[in-house]
Amino acid sequence: EQAEKEGFQHYMLKEIYEQPRALKSTMAGHLDEAAGKVTFPGLRLTAEELKEIDKIFIVACGTAYYAGLVGRYAIERLTQIPVDVDVASEFRYQRPLVTAKTLTIVVSQSGETADTLAALREAKRLGSKVLAITNVVGSTIAREADDVIATIAGPEIAVASTKAYTAQLMAFYLFGLYLAQEKQTIDPQEHATLIAALKNVPEQVEKVLENADDLRTFAEGIKDEKSVFFIGRGIDFAVSLEGSLKLKEISYIHSEAYAAGELKHGTLALIEEGTQVIALSTQAELHEKMISNITEVKARGAKVLGITPDSHIELHRTVDELCFIPTTAPLFTPILSVVPLQLIAYYTSLALGNDVDRPRNLAKSVTVE
C-alpha cells in the first residue's frame, strides 16, 4: 500500500496531486486546437440526434451530482438547451418529464452506484437516450448507457472524490463545447478562445497546488470550529457545495454551503462571533454582490477566507485572508477553485487525526438503493 501511495501520506493527497495528469488525459484526443474544434470520435449519438435534443437531465449522487450542477451551467451557457439536475434517488420517483428528445446524462465515478443505475434504467424506459460520464469503462453503467464519455482519472481509492470530480467537470466542458459546435449555438471565435483556455487549465491546477502550505496552515486554524460556511453565487455556489461536502465527509465538522444572496433569508442567524466563512468570488460581474454578502457576515463577527482570481481591491479589503487562483475563462474556474477546498478538507482531517482515506459511515461505492 505504501508503494501505491507513491510517497504521499494518503491516497486522497496523491489523488489531489494527480489532477493535472487526470485532466490532461481526459481531454486528450478531444481538442483540435488548430481547427478550433472539439471531437468525440467514439460517440454513437449522431449529429442528427444531437440536433434533436431539446432538454437535458443530469442525474448522479454525491460528488458526481455536484459536478452535474457545474455541468448544467456549462451546457446551458454554451448551448441554450435547458438542463435539469437531480440526485438519482429523487429522479427515479419524481415522474421525470423525459421524452425521446431528452438526453439523460448520468455521472458516476465507479459506474456501479445503485441509485444512478436505477435512474439510468428509468430514463431509458421513458425513451430517453442515456450518456454516461464514468471513470470505469467496463462498469455496469457504462455497459447499459447508449453512449459513454470516459474520464481518464485512473483508479480513485480515497472515499472522498477529488480527481474524479475535476475530470467530470472536464468531460462536461468538452461535451458542452462539442454540442455548441454541432448545434452552432456559439460564435466560432469564442469557441476557439474557450478551447485555448481549457487546454491551459491542467497547468493552472499545478499553480494552485503550489499554495498547499498556506492552505495547510489555514486548515490547522479551523480544525476546532463547530461549523464552517461556504458561500458563492452561480457557478461558485455549485463549487461551494462540493467544498462543503468534502469538509463534512472527512473532518466531520458541520458545514453548510449557501447561495450568498440567500444567506439573509435564514442562515445568517447561524453566523456568530468567530464563525469561519469561505467565500468564493470568481466571476467579475458578481464581485460587488459578493462584497455586500461578505460584509453581512463580517458584521456578525465572521472570519472570511476569500477565493478569487482577480485583483479587486475592495474585495481584498473586505476579507480577512485571500487565496488566489489563476485566471481562466469564467466558465472554467470551478476546476481551479475546488482545489483549495479539497486541500482545506484534507489538511483539516489530517490535523484532527481522522482516517482521511476511510471516513466513518461512508463507502467508496454504494451498490444498494
Positive or negative, the CA dihedral 183, 184, 185, 191 is positive
Q: Which is nearer to ligand G6P, 109 or 318 (CB)?
A: 109
8 Å CB contact between 338 and 239: yes
Q: Which is nearer to ligand G6P, 119 or 305 (CB)?
A: 119
The least distance separating ligand G6P from the CB of residue 116, rounded to whole angstroms, comes to 5
Nearer to ligand G6P, 218 or 346 (CB): 346
- The phi, psi pair for 32, rounded to 5°, reads -105, 90
Burial of 216 (0-12, 13-18, 19+ CB in 10 A): middle
C-alpha radius of gyration, the chain, whole number: 20
Q: Which is nearer to ligand G6P, 313 or 368 (CB)?
A: 368
Comparison of 43 and 366: residue with beta carbon closer to ligand G6P: 366
| Bridge pairing between strands 321-324 and 276-280 | unpaired
Letter for the amino acid at 337? S
Q: Is 285 helix (H, G, I), strand (E, B) or coil?
A: helix
Q: Check 5, 24, 37, 364 and give the catalytic one.
A: 364
Residue 91 is placed in which grid cell? 429522479
Nearer to ligand G6P, 196 or 363 (CB): 363
Cα–Cα distance for residue pair 295/184, rounded to 1 Å: 42
Residue with nearest beta carbon to ligand G6P: 62
Distance in Å, CB of 107 to ligand G6P, minimum: 7
Q: Is 280 exposed, middle or buried (0-12, 13-18, 19+ CB in 10 A)?
A: buried
- Give me the least distance between CB of 320 and ligand G6P, in Å please: 31
Give Cα 264 distance to the centre of its chain: 25
Smaller CB separation from ligand G6P, 170 or 290? 170
Q: What angle do CA 194, 181, 334 make, to 5 degrees?
A: 35
| DSSP β-bridge partners for residue 310 | none
For residues 68 and 76, is the Cβ–Cβ distance under 8 A?
Answer: no
> Are the C-beta atoms of residues 172 and 67 closer than 8 Å to each other?
yes
Q: What is the nearest approach in angstroms of ligand G6P to the Cβ of residue 260?
A: 25
Contact residues for ligand G6P, defined by CB under 6 A: 61-64, 108-110, 113, 116, 159, 161, 362-366
C-alpha neighbours within 13 Å on the C-beta side of residue 141: 33
- Count of alpha carbons within 13 Å of 127, Cβ hemisphere only? 7
- In whole angstroms, the minimum distance from the beta carbon of 164 to ligand G6P comes to 7
Least Å distance between CB 163 and ligand G6P?
A: 12
User: What's the min distance (Å) between Cβ of 177 and ligand G6P?
Assistant: 23
Nearest distance, CB of residue 244 and ligand G6P, angstroms: 14
Of 109 and 328, the one with the shorter C-beta distance to ligand G6P is 109
- One-letter identity of residue 27: M
Task: Indicate if 364 belongs to the active site.
Answer: yes
DSSP string, 233-265: STHHHHHHHHHHHHHHHHH--EEEEEEGGGGGG
Q: What would the grid cell of residue 45 be?
A: 449519438
What's the residue count for the chain?
369
- What are the catalytic residues? 364
